[in-house]
Amino acid sequence: MPVKNSSNTKKTASKEKTKKEKPALKSAPVSVVLSFATPGMSALHRTGLGGLAAVLHCLDKIKEKIDEEEPEFPFDSPLWREDFAWKIDKNSVELNFGKPENAALFLEWLFQFAFQIKDEMIFLPALYGVKNGKINVIPIEVRSRLQKGITLTFLQHGQTRKLGSEQTKEYEVDGKKISYEHKDCLSYTHQTAWKEWVNNKGELVLKNYSVQGPIHPGAVVRHAAYTSSSLIAQPLELVLPLIFALVGTLSVPINNGVGVLIIPYIDDLVSFSQNWHRVCPKTVKTSMIAGLGDASIQFELRRRGESLKNRVKIPGCEAVCFRPMPWATQQKSRCDTLTLEHIDPDILDLYDRVLSYFPPRLIENKKNKKEGKGKNAVVTETVEYFLADSVVRPFIADNLARGNYWFKGFTKQMTAYDAVSKKPLREKIKFEKEGLNKMINDEKLDWKLEGAQSVVLAVQESLKFLYGKKIAESKNLSQEGKNNRLEGEYEKWRIAFSGAKTQEQFRFALSDMFSRAKGIPVLQNDWQSVMKIVVQDWQLARDLALIGLAAYKGKNEGKKEE
């Protein structure tokens, strides 16, 4: 009997085993399901999924009107296929391409609608909404501000968008023409992001893809020398929603160098897709924000402003501030965040009144323009108008959003300098005295601290007495001389209060003011509450005293804003 070669037999068996264990090739998917339950879903991912749902809802609304009138893009697009389909439920979105090889056609068609350019400007239909089969019209000046916000958050780098040269445009507010600077947008990276996800057959490729700033602001490669190991990479089920975060969030500018990204918290994709467009700013004034608290509470107010039937079911939001930092001036980095969850309705009611007390103001600026030379020179007066936002409103908003007393930290407002003009911030506060007085005397305002209002009113009554005394002493002076005396009195107490570094110093300054003024009714009726604040938390008392000082306005006091 012949002997078998055991080694050959072993090799043959090994080959057969290897052949059997070789995994079968996966077929390309005909559909993809994106769900809140996907591991790794952050707030921004969920918001992006909401943005995708909002885009699909807009497509549904357009499709409803196809039989009644000429369809608006994209159902007349050559890319459209009858077997394209989608489904939205509370927690997920399903995209169906009909055939695996149609994935590229579907995504190209979807992205052509979702990420448009109109009037040389970024145009996001799902953010504006659809009515009667047509995309809602949003004023160009508002879209320009939203585009500015996007370039300060998502599309910061020049390679992520192609902009034209800066130009000056105009819009009207209360019949006055206001100029603003704008750059046309020719293209942006979101429009073609889908190309990375498909192969040359048009099929969807499910693998990990890189996550960077254009789809996730703040995401960067940690080390340029180790790109492969420090690059953030995620599966398509997470990357695809991130692309649509541009639609599901709001990006608004504070100024030319600082932007705020508002990320709504979503727990119902159906409600969000149907009503997201309702919270989009419709006017320039409602698109103006001056800080994180201001942005987040205004967002909540617009959300709450809808009827109960159409109210967007959003349990809160997160606001992220982007600005140039000393270590990276060439880009805008995350510098601050604010989370707002389940805000008290009373706070929203209060802030609704705060908005009316401290709205953006229409400012008139007169300039003399000289034409010609010598005797032939002609000087003509020109008038320019611009909107100046409040500096008190964002201060109040940040306090309310963080659960503080609305007046906490006002001392910093009176000692800080404006980041742009480098001038004392208190110079701008002078033009908001009327709003401060409305706030102080608001009968619905809950100060949440016994005696707080009394401190403010006592300082104002004391200042009224001291001003009257100065006027009586300067009867023989010119009006300019009288104004200088009053300004000197004001500065004396401002420096005394804001310069106090200890309880003893502040208590001495406040007692000195009260002792010079006689017969103050507020002190006579509420002396114990006033002193209780001074003793228990003198810094809060200092804030209140400076509010009373900043808000005081005499009968003939006034100043023209320049």
Condensed to tens digits (0 to 9), the pLDDT of residues 213-228 reads 899 998 766 666 666 6
Report the C-alpha gap between 39 and 238 in whole angstroms. 9
Which pLDDT score is estimated for 222? Answer: 66
> What's the whole-number mean pLDDT along residues 190-217?
94
Q: Where are the alpha helices (DSSP H) in 264-318?
A: 269-275, 284-287, 292-304
Whether 14 has a pLDDT exceeding 70, the answer reads no
Which pLDDT score is estimated for 386? Answer: 87
Which pLDDT score is estimated for 303? Answer: 84
Which pLDDT score is estimated for 65? Answer: 84
Whether 560 has a pLDDT exceeding 50, the answer reads no
Which pLDDT score is estimated for 230? Answer: 63
> What's the whole-number mean pLDDT along residues 468-491?
88
Who contacts 415 (Cβ-Cβ below 8 Å, separation ≥6)? 424, 426, 498
> What's the whole-number mean pLDDT along residues 170-184?
88
Report the C-alpha gap between 444 and 438 in whole angstroms. 11
> What's the whole-number mean pLDDT along residues 1-28?
49
Name residue 513's amino acid. Answer: M
Work out the angle between the directed axes of helices 433-440 and 392-401 (0-180°, nearest 10). 40
Which pLDDT score is estimated for 488? Answer: 92
Residue 260's H or E segment, with its range, is strand 259-264
Residue 65: count other Cβ atoms within 10 Å of its Cβ.
16
CB 400 within 8 A of CB 392: no
What one-character DSSP code corresponds to residue 3?
P
Work out the angle between the directed axes of helices 521-536 and 503-516 (0-180°, nearest 10). 170
Long-range contacts of 123-127 (CB under 8 A, 24+ apart): 124/246, 124/247, 125/55, 125/58, 126/51, 126/54, 126/55, 126/57, 126/58, 126/247, 126/276, 126/277, 127/54, 127/247, 127/250, 127/276, 127/277, 127/280
> What's the whole-number mean pLDDT along residues 130-137?
90
> What's the whole-number mean pLDDT along residues 396-411?
95
- Of the listed ranges 56-60, 361-365, 428-432, the least confidently predicted one is 361-365
Q: Tell me the whole-structure pTM to 2 decimals.
A: 0.86
Whether 21 has a pLDDT exceeding 70, the answer reads no
Q: Provide the CA 19 distance to its chain's centre, in angstroms.
A: 58
Which pLDDT score is estimated for 306? Answer: 55
Whether 555 has a pLDDT exceeding 90, the answer reads no
Please report which confidence band the pLDDT of residue 26 belongs to, taking 50, 70 and 90 as the band edges: low
Tell me what the pLDDT averaged over the chain comes to: 87
Which pLDDT score is estimated for 511? Answer: 93
> What's the whole-number mean pLDDT along residues 157-176?
89
What Å distances lie between residue 39 and 42, 106, 129, CA to CA?
Answer: 9, 26, 30
Q: Which residues does residue 176 pair with via DSSP β-bridges, in sequence order?
A: 173
Q: What is the pLDDT of residues 304-327, one digit of tens each?
A: 775 434 444 557 899 999 998 888
- Mapping DSSP to helix (H, G, I), strand (E, B) and coil, where does residue 425 land? coil
Q: Which residue has the higher pLDDT, 559 or 272?
A: 272
Please report which confidence band the pLDDT of residue 53 belongs to, taking 50, 70 and 90 as the band edges: very high
> What's the whole-number mean pLDDT along residues 192-217?
93
> What's the whole-number mean pLDDT along residues 185-204?
96
Please report which confidence band the pLDDT of residue 421 belongs to, taking 50, 70 and 90 as the band edges: confident
Q: What is the pLDDT of residues 500-534, one digit of tens each?
A: 999 999 999 999 999 998 878 888 888 899 999 99
Which pLDDT score is estimated for 5? Answer: 45
- Whose CA is closest to 146, among 295, 297, 45, 351? 295
> What's the whole-number mean pLDDT along residues 415-421?
85
Whether 19 has a pLDDT exceeding 70, the answer reads no
Q: Which residues does residue 302 pair with via DSSP β-bridges, in sequence order?
A: none
Which pLDDT score is estimated for 373? Answer: 77
- Whose CA is closest to 498, among 549, 445, 561? 549
Do you find a cis peptide bond into 74, omega within 30 degrees of 0? yes
Which pLDDT score is estimated for 410? Answer: 96
Please report which confidence band the pLDDT of residue 1 belongs to, taking 50, 70 and 90 as the band edges: very low
- Mapping DSSP to helix (H, G, I), strand (E, B) and coil, where does residue 90 land? coil
Which pLDDT score is estimated for 13? Answer: 47
Whether 3 has a pLDDT exceeding 50, the answer reads no
Whether 17 has a pLDDT exceeding 80, the answer reads no
Report the C-alpha gap between 204 and 182 in whole angstroms. 38
Residue 217: φ, ψ to 5°: -50, 125
Name residue 521's amino acid. Answer: P
> What's the whole-number mean pLDDT along residues 5-19?
47
- Of the listed ranges 52-66, 215-229, 351-365, 418-432, the least confidently predicted one is 215-229
Which pLDDT score is estimated for 224? Answer: 62
Please report which confidence band the pLDDT of residue 372 belongs to, taking 50, 70 and 90 as the band edges: confident
Which pLDDT score is estimated for 229? Answer: 65
Give me the percent of the chain exceeding a pLDDT of 70.
90
Report the C-alpha gap between 277 and 273 in whole angstroms. 8
Please report which confidence band the pLDDT of residue 371 belongs to, taking 50, 70 and 90 as the band edges: confident
Report the C-alpha gap between 152 and 257 in whole angstroms. 7
CB 393 within 8 A of CB 354: yes
